[in-house]
Amino acid sequence: SGAFDTLGLMNYMDIMRLITFVETIPATSDENVTVTDTKFSDVPVRLYLPRGAPGGLRRGMVFFHGGGWCLGDAGMKSYDHMSRRVSNELNVVVVSVNYRLAPEHRFPSAFEDVYAVTKFFLQSSVLAQYRVDPGRVCVAGDSAGGNLAAAVAQQLLEEPEVKTKLKAQILIYPVLQALDLDLPSYRDNENKPILPRSLMVRFWSEYFSSEPVLREAMASNRHVPAEAAHLFQFVNWSHWLPVEMRGAHQYRGPTLGSGALARRYPGLLDLRASPLLASDARLRHLPHTYILTCEHDVLRDDGVMYAQRLRALGVRVTHDHAQDAFHGALMFNFWPMDLSVAHRLFRRYIEWVDENL
């Protein structure tokens, strides 16, 4: 993490933004898929329409890219490649959302954007326009996008006016809670590439505020006030993690911080930011769920605990744990960053969508 601290957050973010910019390609149709940049409910989206056989209804997917709520774009080569393949190979209309990013737009801007797009797409007139079967629509996302997908699926349960129910939610190494940033996965993978702990702490804190006081509190895991202590039951890894994932780690209860931070940044305890904090009553109505977790990932335990909680409540869950994979592995699925693990995980994802959507 020394390198990140020396570079400073803004320099690092600028470099990452530059990579995002360089990696982003214009909307280009091919013989299989028509690709256009448009807006749904005033939010920019990249729309992928399969050109396959015109008969019958198609499936629908609303996809949210990762990047710690600060980075990323639906048009990045790796996301474009994945959306194109899902659309073409599975005859799926894919709506890939370019939600507003932090630090310019803090929580809950990203959530509000993806939620508005999902609600817009789920209208029966819109589904009909794109010939999408209302019984076969899912939300999906990786990393921070998995966070947004989980939050959208939960929030839709509270919306009586949205008549179309999601068939599935697909959460690819999702980030699901800001309550405990000292889980075994955070300890085991503190300095792993792609997403070291210091960077995840920064993404979380930037999502809410640029104030160093928040980042410092989160870095030392002292950002949760005593009045929120009851929420720790939902992230108590000594209860929710399978024995083999706890390793030699001992559970220490939370170190509670001052209430001032949570009052200043209510997002810290908001379910739309930390879907893992939802009550059982809310979680038990969620749709069929696919969760991918990677062993070498600070976010591993977020996904594992969500899978365990959902299963315990009778939600249908497929939880794939990739023992040999790291955070962001799916991005490495084409030249020059071509990794066999990325191809394997992507094939598995395609297979699951095909069988379950």
> Predicted confidence band at 7 (pLDDT cuts at 50, 70, 90)?
low
Q: Which residues are catalytic?
A: 143, 297, 327
What is the rounded distance in angstroms from the CA atom of residue 270 to the CA atom of residue 9?
Answer: 25
* Helices marked H in the chain: 2-7, 9-23, 77-90, 109-121, 124-129, 144-156, 184-188, 197-208, 212-219, 237-240, 243-246, 259-264, 280-283, 300-312, 340-356
Spatial separation of the C-alpha atoms in residues 66 and 33, rounded to whole Å: 23
Q: Does the CA dihedral 341-347-350-354 come out positive or negative?
A: negative
Residue 28 has a pLDDT of 97
Confidence label for 8 from pLDDT (cuts 50, 70 and 90)? low
pTM of the prediction? 0.96
What is the model's pLDDT at position 84?
97
Mind giving me the DSSP string for 67-111?
A: STTTS--TTBHHHHHHHHHHHHHHTEEEEEE----TTTS-TTHHH
Averaged pLDDT, 235-242: 96
d(CA 263, CA 270): 11
pLDDT (tens digit, 9 = 90+) per residue, 49-106?
999 877 789 999 999 999 999 999 999 999 999 999 999 999 999 999 999 999 999 9
Does residue 336 register a pLDDT over 80?
A: no
293-319 pLDDT per residue, tens: 999 999 999 999 999 999 999 999 999
Domains, the chain, in order of start with CATH, read 12-356 (3.40.50.1820)
CB 87 within 8 A of CB 58: no
pLDDT at position 9: 58
- The SS3 assignment for 325 reads strand
What pLDDT does residue 338 have?
84
Task: Return all residues near 317 (Cβ < 8 A) that are at least 6 apart.
Answer: 288, 289, 290, 291, 307, 310, 311
169: nearest Cα among 344, 327, 271, 303: 303
Query: 């999702």: which residue's tokens?
Result: 174
Instruction: Report how far residue 332's alpha carbon sits from residue 322's, in angstroms, rounded to the nearest whole number.
Output: 15
User: Average of pLDDT values for 129-144?
Assistant: 98
* β pairing state of 317-326 and 333-334: unpaired
Please, are residues 179 and 274 in contact by the beta-carbon 8 Å criterion? yes
pLDDT of residue 337: 77
Per-residue pLDDT at 205: 95
Q: What percent of the chain has pLDDT over 90?
A: 87
pLDDT above 90 for 1: no
Per DSSP, the three-state class of 220 is: coil
Compute the distance between CA of residue 357 and CA of residue 351 in angstroms, rounded to an integer. Answer: 10
3-state secondary structure of 166: coil
Residue 249 has pLDDT above 80, yes or no: yes
Alpha carbon 173 to its chain centroid, in Å, reads 7
| pLDDT in the model for residue 96 | 99
Q: In angstroms, rounded to a whole number, what is the distance separating the alpha carbons of residues 131 and 59? A: 8
Query: What's the pLDDT score for residue 4?
Result: 52
3-state secondary structure of 188: helix
Q: How much is the mean pLDDT over the chain?
A: 94
Q: What is the CA radius of gyration of the chain?
A: 19
Picking from 47, 49, 45, 58, the residue whose alpha carbon sits closest to that of residue 137 is 58
103-107 long-range contacts, CB within 8 A, separation 24+: 103/13, 103/70, 103/206, 103/210, 106/207, 106/208, 106/209, 106/267, 107/69, 107/207, 107/208, 107/267, 107/270, 107/272, 107/273
What's the full length of the chain, in residues? 357
